[in-house]
Structure 1
Amino acid sequence: MIRSMNTSTKAFPILLRLSFLFTISIISEAIDTITTTQFITDNQTIVSSDGSFEMGFFSPGNSKNRYLGIWYNKIATQTAVWVANREIPITNRSGILKITNPGILVLLNETGNIIWSSNTSRTVQNPIAQLLESGNLLVKDANDDNPDNFLWQSFDYPCDTLLPGMKLGKNLVTGRDWYLSSWKSNNDPGRGVFTYWLDLRGYPQFWGSNGSVEWYRSGPWNGLRFSGNPSLKKNSIYKFNFVFNKQEVYYSYELLNSSIVSRFSINENGFVQRWTWVDGKGWVLYLSGPTDTCDTYALCGKYGSCNVGNSPVCGCLDKFVPSRPKEWAMGVSTNGCIRRTPLDCEKGDGFLKYSGIKLPDTQYSWFNESMTLKECQTACSHNCTCMAYTTLNISGEGSGCLLWFGDLIDIKEYTENGQDIYIRMASSESEGLAISNGGSKEKKGETIGISLAISMVTLSLIFGLLFYVWRKKQQQQQQQQLKREGRTRDIFKHGYNNESQTKDLELPLLDLATIMNATNDFSESNKLGAGGFGTVYKGMLEGQEIAVKRLSRNSKQGVDEFKNEVICIAKLQHRNLVKLLGCCIQGEEKMLIYEYMPNKSLDSFIFDPTRSTILDWPKRFHIINGIARGLLYLHQDSRLRIIHRDLKASNVLLDIDMNPKISDFGMARSFRGEETEANTSRVVGTYGYMSPEYAIDGHLSVKSDVFNFGVLVLEIVSGKRNRGFFHLGHNLNLLGHVKIKTGNAILISTLN
């Protein structure tokens, strides 16, 4: 960022400033360079050698304030493309720009105070400032003709405009960000609330943000264009490029004809736009984004698909249904959709192909540039947290692999230049199907030349089976009823039935009628919360407050997870583990009964601006210490060594005295004896908390929980979420941010 000086300095007192008139020459004619013996006053400018750009002082719109800026020189309407002192205007015409011997540009006001300056990490003996034909203001050594050997350039500090040759992205070596920020208004070039920046959380994509709120996104680069910009294609005005290597990640463009004047900018309302100058017409809008309502980020929620041609615009992807049907009926779709048939990774899932869409948010994605699509599918299918995959680069024959972890968000349907994505589905939903445009079956050419013999055999088999199916119909209905009645015995395959559960698990098995009575028939007024597993209700059982975790039929926690949670914590006894009081398994119902935690979950405190004030540092330390004690018990002191695998703020509950209790053992893994680690093909948990060796290679150990604990501690201390952490200075998550700060602190300590 351009360094603005808002404090006074005595480096240039008034008398010294007046002495410039006698020792330094004022520029009196149009040139493109100033030296240490020259300076620019308010009524003077410099012009690039080809006359395309001019630099000097100007007043935007109806403002009377003066700013140092660069604008187009050959068009009728003055259009500024860069402003130096955008945050600190000069209130009169007393401004002076000069270059000092070290090679630093300084902007002085009438009192001789520096209100803006450039910066440099090195010095030269004969520095000059030159306005290039590209509109770039360069500070360099006058004796050095190498254009890349400069001390400072304005192109490294974009304002609201991206000119040809500028970069929009990030330098991975220096950490410099190139991003656009809007003006406050036509009369004020100060930094507005809107920015357009490159996100490196996952595979790169650009975001349009309103303050800290992410408003719309470009989608990932696919080799031809950004997935969310289908209109970005070859044209007669400019060519564009996206560079992604170990040193830099950026977007840039070049004009195809030097006589064309075209710019890319962000306006005061946050829209990014491509403008082209046409004589007699002025600035003509060529492209603009966002283009319509469906470009609004996450408008249709997870697994929702947006189509401006529909009414309402939001719908669910095929094989998905609204997560909250009543809200969808009222036109509220932000909570998105869920799979019609729940996944069952251990038994095997498949993938459905959806075509013609904007690829989902890539914040929580992984990519490999060399893998084939088949290898990509294999990698995704072997990781239960991988929800979708696609080809990374669609130019040519296609190459590379892009994987998504977690729910898919911000999907839009396109009539042209959309992409294919393969989404994880239950095997019963994914066999032999290919879906396009978020709902309709992909049209396939009619099969020609089917063998007559095969047709006859097929028909014979069908008729032969009809009678058999008819005879079995009544038997199947009876068997279904028996299965429902015997669900308890089916779930606990190791003998934990009604007769032995008290002896083996020391855990009461409650009937449905008792639970319904305790929760007032699962009344809405008793509802404590909901998640992917189902709903939690408050109840009263024999004078004791309880929390009932009622798993939905579409729950992410299936039968195995339910059974695992019961077995894992039935006999665990520790003050920092939530106590399981009983369970209910009847018909299609699966419920767990816990002790009631009046302060609910930890995340409801630390991430809430108001409630977080309750947690002073002693309370936060007390919570961290309690979680650590509970984790130590699971790892070392319990009868079975247990790895939780999903330790996060929402899975830590707080009792009346704010004591933390670890909960939700559906994903837990138990070990016997001295076992401390294992490898698994089923990676489960929450992306953003999982350790790298577990998320990528499936290597599971007690260290996996320790990594989760470390992330949780950072969140408790900072009050910020690791997933979704935002900082204008970089695009890292909370872990990356802390790593930078820690590294800088260590470096400073070492230097001192």
Structure 2
Amino acid sequence: MEVKLLPLPLPLPLLLLLLLLHFPFSFSTIPLGSVIYPSGSNNQNWQSPNSTFSVSFVPSSSPDSFLAAVSFAGNVPIWSAGTVDSRGSLRLLPSGSLRLTNGSGATVWDSRTDRLGVTSGSIKDSGELVLLNNRSVPVWSSFDNPTDTIVQSQNFTIGKVLRSGPYSFQLERSGNLTLRWNNNTVYWNHGLNSSFSSNLSSPSLGLQTNGVVSIFDSSLRGGVDTVYSGDYGDSDTFRFLKLDDDGNLKIYSSASGNSGPVTDHWSAVDQCLVYGYCGNFGICSYNDTDPICLCPSLNFDFVDVDDKRKGCKRKLELNDCSGSTTMLELAHTRLFTYENDPNSESFFAGSSPCRANCLSSSACLASVSMSDGSGNCWQKRPGSFFTGYQRPSVPSTSYVKVCGPVVPNTLLIAKKDDGNNSKVHLWIVAVAVIGGLLGLIAVEVGLWWCCCRKNPRFGTLSSHYTLLEYASGAPVQFTYKELQRCTKSFKEKLGAGGFGTVYKGVLTNRTVVAVKQLEGIEQGEKQFRMEVATISSTHHLNLVRLIGFCSQGRHRLLVYEFMRNGSLDNFLFAVDSGKFLTWEYRFNIALGTAKGITYLHEECRDCIVHCDIKPENILVDDNYAAKVSDFGLAKLLNPKDNRYNMSSVRGTRGYLAPEWLANLPITSKSDVYSYGMVLLEIVSGKRNFDVSEKTNHKKFSIWAYEEFEKGNTEAILDTRLGEDQTVDMEQVRRMVKTSFWCIQEQPLQRPTMGKVVQMLEGITEIKKPPCPKTISEVSFSGNSMSTRSMLVASGATRSSSSSATRSFQTMGITSSGPASTRISEGSLLGS
């Protein structure tokens, strides 16, 4: 007889423990003794009740290594404990500590909560990992110990720090948000309105569900908006604020829940302006739109060719130079400098003395000549960290001491690719230039001898207006009587604007010109000539060319090339004028205008903010190409002259950015706003501030956005572009979406004009823009709209001094705050 032994039943607690160890946790409670592994049959995770977040191991960037993290959708870490190998583990010990160990058993990270009465852990639906005592009170929380990420509903207060490599992000007691390199060098500082910064008691930072990053404090009535995400307004989107390993602070979002891709919608700073991004001796530049790291010259090698962000090293150290040292010149390049750096000093010097002084000093390794009007020269001593930024728009020149001879890095030399790589000898160029000039002189002398030598009308004007002067691009100086004669005593008026009146004139060589008689210009003659020289040095296909000027006594006049077709407003709004633009012409005018403004902002030697973009200042030539006029004139106004302010600008109020109303600094982003309004008018053929029954008595831009939201873009299109006209609706949609991005309330949300050109040309994907706010909805820190409306209605003027004192804050630069090391204001101007 066979006897079968029946298995004894296991005790219930032991059975439950075996089940917990065998199956992944699908609930939020984490018992003491729980453990998860990176790989293998014991791979487990601890999930939140809604399964949105989990504690698990995710693959890291290093091979055969895993990151212990709280993750969104299973693969997006929002908090991490550290990296281990495939045999590592994360355990909630019976003592109450959460501990991460690698395969050898060494502790990588520990919560240090043993003997604090921890009885269990939990992962919440908000993504917060907590360790609880027997009364379910949190003893430790991942939200209170952030790593590199802040999520919605997470409270970020003073003392908390986000870290990623050498970079850190903090909230200051003043309410400022700062990005630092190596805990001391501040390369981004985003502050509140100065009226708040001294009144905060316990500020905290929060990322709201609509995509707004706000500062909260007991002294504030609600939150103060500081940053807007690019997908602002959609409350169903999961977002998080992350300090990336490249030193940039970004807002990411997933629009499709747990399964959607995660994309960034806002970044704090231009990537090349991140301090140390390219390592020691590394120069950050751009390849199309992506940042790249380069060495200053071929006198340097990359520290790691596979990771160029690690910087560069000298091929030959200065102490080993067999010959003499020399200075490597880096045009359009700035080595970043910051205040209170013990290894650098600043003094006033021109470019040549700045270079020579460093070359002759054994205590100087590099120098930066700040060609931004400050006249500063920064010198870097041994032991300094060298990191730089190169771009054609950067006015400064940097010098680095190297062992001769200098071997240039061609990637850092801006040049046009003409398809011919052969070298042209300098003497050939010199002969060609001199021959060309002599030929021009001979032609002009011949023309004068044949046609004009016996003409009594050929007076002093022709002697000034020579072909040689005009061809050279230098502005011709006229006397007031000469311009009075050529305009027939200013008889034929072409138009009037915020800077003066324009008259038609004919020079004695029969060249038709437009003469602008400036009003309210009280600058001295020397300063006026300097500003005119700046304006005349701008040459672009889509800019009106300045031919000459007059500065005689109190008379200030500018002479421009004449545009027979007049300004854009005559085509768009003057229905009875008989002028009409086809869609092809409209699109080309919009694109040409954007290219002209881009040149002013980013490509000419001195960055020029127009301050008065409107259809009246966009002229149309004989080929229906756009030419922007009146640029640079804002710099000619007397700072004490209040004519050019919000309350009295004639015909331009509908184009002014909200920062004009809020008395905030005016930057190139203000031109972007004005251009966005013009772009909408080009599409619609209507003034952006028109209110009618068709727009339901709403401001046209708001009504247009509502129609765009409904997918009814055709309703925005000018009705004159009927069925008999060929209209590219894809171009229409691009222009409409671009215009809504340009007229966003917050300057940080608006694209640069260079980006606008790419959006119009279809090079860059245009995401859905948030709804632009009406003027009555605009809300800036510290000012109620009703107060500003009253100021505008009563004719109150902008405070020029107030705008100047805060102009650096728009660029993320401030001289106030904690006594930590800060990048100097001059080190970022013009970047």
TM-score w.r.t. structure 2 length? 0.26
TM-score w.r.t. structure 1 length? 0.28
Relative CO higher for 1 or 2, CA cutoff 8 Å, sep ≥ 6? 2
- Which of the two has greater strand per residue? 1
